[in-house]
Amino acid sequence: MKQGLDIFRAVGLTSLLCVTFLSGCASPVALHRAVLEYDWTVNRIETELLLLNIARTRYHEPIHFTVVSSIAATFDFRITTGIIGVLTQSPGLDSLALTLGASVAENPTISIIPIQGKEFATRLLTPISENTIQFLSQQGTDPAILLRLMARGILLKDDEGQRRFLLNQPHRKAEYREFRQRVMHLSWLQSERNLFIGPLQLSEGSKRKTGRTVITNYDPNSLSHQERLDLNNQADRFSFNNILVDIRKGHPGGDFPMFGEIKLRSFKSILGFIGRGIAQDQEFHVAPDSRTKSVSVNPAKTLTIQESNIQPEEAIVSVQKRGLWYYIEQKSQDGELVDRWNHETFDVLYQLYHLTVTDISQIPTVPITIAK
């Protein structure tokens, strides 16, 4: 009997160690997996909503966003253990068996907010600011991606004071073609490290002051203070939703000069531009101006959204609308450079979505809570 008790104690100690091991392993593994799954799910929701709203504009439908405001998950970790056996007076006839079990129960509560109201509509309809262009350009984004996506057009002024506007819309073919050529020229200057996109640095007395954002083919800080002040006064004549561009003669790329202002779109207009470009107002190939040197990539479309009645096998994001599938290809027949352009453009659009849509800190709407 004593031998059986010793076995009982040994098995009990073993079960205690196993329980400790299981409880130590089960909870971190489950938590790690859950955090990654929730992150992936929220990202998928956001990207698919973004693409869905592009598809909505293709049919001239109102756009609408819903944001996941919070996820609260409760994890219930349960460990069960037991000993089953027979203890006898006869040596060697004792029989003991250890039973162990572990389970994890997850109870998530998800809060979503339909984005609506005056404050949201204002952000949706207000043109992008020059600060956004400056911020994204500092991340190394090609100016051609930024301006083809976000610019409504360029208002040019010649030496005689004459003005003409180049609309960034394919149905205005001549204007669109020249707009594309001028944007390609800026992209080439950037690739040659001869393009400056940033704020003017001014001074008032002994204090430094940050001025308006400009796009130039020279370093504005090399100008005298008065010249910088004059340039800033030129930029101050229009709103912060426009950017002054000054590509001067006598500097790199100056044989294709331009002076004027780039007018920026609102986020809603950006979605509409891409949505209409699927079928109604398609972009087309534009060759660089002869004064622009080599351009590494020049896709016909700013962002290529495929439309098909068959669900795509490989896509970075896809949604269904009116019985058709809309998606961005992982790999296309146009090659790696165009695919990289396309993915980067969608990434820029996703960043604009966060800057415009997902700031819910001031939204008074009561969230909708979904408990699983």
- What's residue 102's pLDDT? 57
Residue 278 in this model has a pLDDT that exceeds 80: yes
Cα gap 186→252, rounded to integer Å: 11
Identify the residue whose tokens are 């998800």: 110
Question: In sequence order, which ranges of 192-323 are alpha helices (DSSP H)?
Answer: 225-235, 267-276
Q: How large is the average pLDDT for residues 199-221?
A: 90
Residue 202 in this model has a pLDDT that exceeds 70: yes
- What's residue 297's pLDDT? 94
- CA proximity to 58, closest of 277, 261, 299: 277
* Mean residue pLDDT across the chain: 83
- CA proximity to 66, closest of 318, 276, 370: 370
173 vs 118, more confident: 173
- What's residue 355's pLDDT? 85
Are 76 and 107 within 8 A, CB to CB? yes
Residues in Cβ contact with 81 at an 8 Å cutoff, skipping those fewer than 6 apart: 15, 18, 19, 98, 99, 100, 101
Residue 1 in this model has a pLDDT that exceeds 60: no
Grade residue 36 by pLDDT with cuts at 50, 70 and 90. confident
Q: The tokens of 333 are what? A: 């027949």
- φ/ψ (deg, to 5) at 98: -100, 130
Cα gap 306→31, rounded to integer Å: 37
- Percent helix, strand, coil in the chain, to 5, is 40, 30, 30
CA atoms within 13 A on the CB side of 252: 17
Beta sheet of 324-329, edge-to-edge order: 306-308, 324-329, 315-321
62 vs 105, more confident: 62
Residue 368 in this model has a pLDDT that exceeds 90: no
Residue 112 in this model has a pLDDT that exceeds 60: yes
Grade residue 266 by pLDDT with cuts at 50, 70 and 90. very high
Are 314 and 334 within 8 A, CB to CB? no
- What's residue 37's pLDDT? 72
Cα gap 27→104, rounded to integer Å: 8
Residue 15 in this model has a pLDDT that exceeds 90: no
Using the Cα atoms of residue 138, residue 139, residue 143 and residue 146 in order, give the sign of their dihedral: negative
Q: Give the model confidence (pLDDT) of 53-89 as tens digits.
A: 999 999 999 988 877 666 666 655 565 655 555 545 5
- What's residue 52's pLDDT? 95
Residues in Cβ contact with 49 at an 8 Å cutoff, skipping those fewer than 6 apart: 65, 66
Grade residue 119 by pLDDT with cuts at 50, 70 and 90. confident
43 vs 288, more confident: 288
Are 100 and 81 within 8 A, CB to CB? yes
169 vs 27, more confident: 169
- What's residue 9's pLDDT? 52
- What's residue 8's pLDDT? 46
- What's residue 354's pLDDT? 86
Q: Give the model confidence (pLDDT) of 184-199 as tens digits.
A: 999 999 999 999 999 9
- What's residue 207's pLDDT? 85
pTM above 0.85, yes or no: no
Q: What is the CA radius of gyration of the chain?
A: 31
